[in-house]
Structure 1
Amino acid sequence: MPSARPEPAPWLLSAILTGRFADHWPLYRQSMAVARAGIDFDTSTLVGRCLLISGCESPPLLTPSP
């Protein structure tokens, strides 16, 4: 059974959102920056957090066939 990962601190999430939308930093670069600080955040995790916070659902990867 995989171990549960701790929730990121609110300051980290606000810094990521500010970097993404105000400073126009791509999420992959932010992932590399927080990795240098010793925080393990994949780009996919950052995308998921941004979608969760913004209230959007992720778009389907495949559209169903009729």
Structure 2
Amino acid sequence: MSTALSLAMLVSLALIGGAFYLWRRPGYRRQAVLMLVAAAVALFNVAIWTLPDGEGRSPVGQLATGQ
């Protein structure tokens, strides 16, 4: 699971970098915005899996302990 989360973080960073590159090119603004949206979705998914709840348990932590 940690490999998938690491890949999601790397992909989101690559999408953000590509979006900034495309933003400067004329005619590619829509693709740049879509890349930013895709990066936001990936980052949100990583946050859902890693951030703990009110009791201090995260979903990825529960997978590691087998609960």
Output the TM-score relative to the length of structure 2: 0.32
Higher relative contact order (CA 8 A, sep 6+): 2
Larger Rg computed on CA atoms = 2
Richer in helix (by share) = 2
